Chain A
Amino acid sequence: MEGWDPNTKSTLTQIPLLATKAGPRDGVAWTQRLKEEYKSLIAYTQMNKSNDNDWFRISAANPEGTRWTGKCWYVHNLLKYEFDLQFDIPVTYPSTAPEIELPQLDGKTQKMYRGGKICLTVHFKPLWAKNCPRFGIAHALCLGLAPWLAAEIPILVDSGMIKHKDDASSSTDS
């Protein structure tokens, strides 16, 4: 945890940990895992809202819980930038972390694989491997996507790769 800032560390310790080690093909165990996932996601969301730091909204796209979709956003210079968010649960989950995709930003940054999959820092994978199966979707979002957005969005905005939807109205105001 040396590479993480104190704020992220304190947030992470408040997210409930998971106990069941099961993937999408494990039947009843996977159901139990999904229950635990929902509990941790609920706690993380509530925590963010109470801290006025709500930044994502996700839901299961299918009944099995193997595909998730939603939105995430980032506030930079008092402007809110919102992106579509999606990811699949690998069959080897939770040994393998899910790969989070932002299709709108595909090809706009070097820190992204083909298809809009974000490239995570080298600190994430060892941390995830070390805490298997205690980390879940909430942890992946907290340790993976959130730092990525904080690092890349300001660069993309400054370089002009991303335009805010309110730019037209702001020019009208001025």
Chain B
Amino acid sequence: MAQHRDKRNLPPLSLHVPEPHFRPGDEVDFSDIGIPQVDATRRPDEAAAPADMRDLAYGLVRVLDEEHRATGPWDPRLDGDTLLKMLRAMALTRAFDERMFRAQRQGKTSFYMKCTGEEAVSIAAAFALHRDDMCFPSYRQQGLLIARDWPLVDMMNQIYSNRADRLQGKQLPIMYSSKEASFFSISGNLATQCPQAVGWAMASAAKGDTRIAAVWCGEGSTAEGDFHSACTFASVYRAPVILNVVNNQWAISSFSGFAGAEATTFAARAVGYGIAGLRVDGNDPLAVYAATKWATDRARANIGPTLIEHFTYRAEGHSTSDDPSQYRSVMESSKWPLGDPIARLKRHLIGLGLWDKERHAAMDLEVAEYVKSCAKEAEKNGILGHGLHQPLETLFEGVYEEMPWHLREQREQMFQEAKAARL
């Protein structure tokens, strides 16, 4: 205490606890978010040394300008056919989300998570990757599967945990897994996929393969230790991996400031690890494609990993269990300065004369009808809690390659209980 008395003339310390700019009911003004001009962010050579491209971590790779024209050094000059395919995959993903969200509200499944507003982050990236490049997604990259033409019915079977669910009803809805689509099994534990993706990429390099890995996590998850481990390993071994940070501004109710966004960008994390870092307009499908393509070329040329921050906005709630109006202003998503990725690509294609409002409306109808027919197909295999689940014994399968005695005993016990309960 004596020491305290001696120091009473010093100003007291204070703890800084970040606070988002807008809370429920607040007027939203995003004018302080710096959006550089389309040609303001240079495109270095794919072989550039990370130390020579630090500015990229603080810029914003953009291709579509205010008039929705593709311009600037990052313009990937994609052909119209590819752009139309990209547009449809994004529209299909959104329609899928709408339908499955409703299915949860109707009690057909226990849980769902949309990726509304973030479709470009996964779909445009998928177009830049090879189909056999291994993706380690978080739970909000359903667009990867859809871009890789994975059957919607199969995804829905998983969401309904029904008798056709390849994951045997073992996983929470949306925790897909598809080895065939090079889409790694999703885990509920955040950021664990980051070092795993780096390990996969290291293995590919060690084996002299040509495939690369890509991993996605949210900006909130970058605070996990695994993210640091992943960046360290990626840097040390120059692993052929793309580390995608989807900065959608929100980690459930916590704004990005709680992951460090008040002090710096997430792309700037790359600077400290000595790896290439790009910050990209995540709502600009052409920019996401261009940045991912740049990073794939870099990885395939053995030059090393790239960390890409996709600057975007989580337009809807975190999940079906979340009500964002409790912690943020409902005006935010409509005021988001980078707009909507589907609307922007649509306007771009219309500007090119390859598309029009009528065809877009017809496509929206078509994908909605298609999703509906898939849902009907999936529902024939059952919905959650309606009896058409996997056989009871699957509960014990796959814990180990071969079932040990104690699991065989417990399985027998379950059969006896089921018999007693006449299940």
- Asked if A and B are interacting partners, one says no
Tell me the A residues contacting B by CB distance below 8 Å: none
Interface residues of B (CB under 8 A from A): none
